Amino acid sequence: MRHLNSGRKLNRTSAHRKALMRNLVLSLIQYGRLKTTDAKAKELRRWADRMVTLGKRGDLAAHRRAYAFLGSHGAVKKLFDEIAPRFKERPGGYTRVIKYGVRRGDAASISVIEFTGASEAAAPRKKRRKPDTREHQHGGERRAAAAAG
């Protein structure tokens, strides 16, 4: 039974999981938004919110803890100077997860995770329209025009 065992294993070892979350949080801080699978996005939410909370604290110990996790001075600077001040009055819920669609190769459900208050919200992917006829797919119009002229 999984009583009191929080977090997702994501079919990885603990070291791999930690490295994955570190890289995803780093990318989210750098780019503000990223596309990943639903399970990874939901797990990433926990780690990213913890980093923003450290950024809101703003003391030296919080800087050191953020750097210990992220390993990038630039990302820590952006977190403390740009991202955390946006959420000064907000008591949590710094990220949002939006269902995006399914991945083409393995039909895994994909989500977009972004910081709340982002300028534009990600729209779900639109379905692609298939061509009406096989002739259109294989250039039938061009062949007909070449044969006529």
pLDDT at 117: 81
Q: 70-74, 106-110, 119-123, 139-143: which range is least confident on average?
A: 119-123
**Alpha-carbon distance 73 to 70, whole Å?**
8
Averaged pLDDT, 15-25: 97
| Spatial CA neighbour of 84 closest among 120, 46, 49, 121 | 49
Per-residue pLDDT, 138: 60
Please give the structure tokens belonging to residue 126: 């639109």
So what's the pLDDT on residue 64?
97
3-state secondary structure of 52: helix
- Cα separation, 127 vs 143, whole angstroms: 29
Fold of 14-148: 50s Ribosomal Protein L17; Chain: A, (3.90.1030)
Q: Is the pLDDT of residue 10 over 70?
A: yes
Where are the chain's structural domains? Answer: 14-148
The predicted pLDDT at position 123 comes to 55
pTM for this one? Answer: 0.77
Asked whether the beta carbons of 118 and 33 are under 8 A apart, the reply is yes
Summarize pLDDT for 86-96 with one digit per residue, the tens.
Answer: 999 999 999 99
CA dist., res. 101 & res. 10, Å (int): 20
pLDDT at 140: 62
Evaluate if residue 55 carries a pLDDT over 80. yes
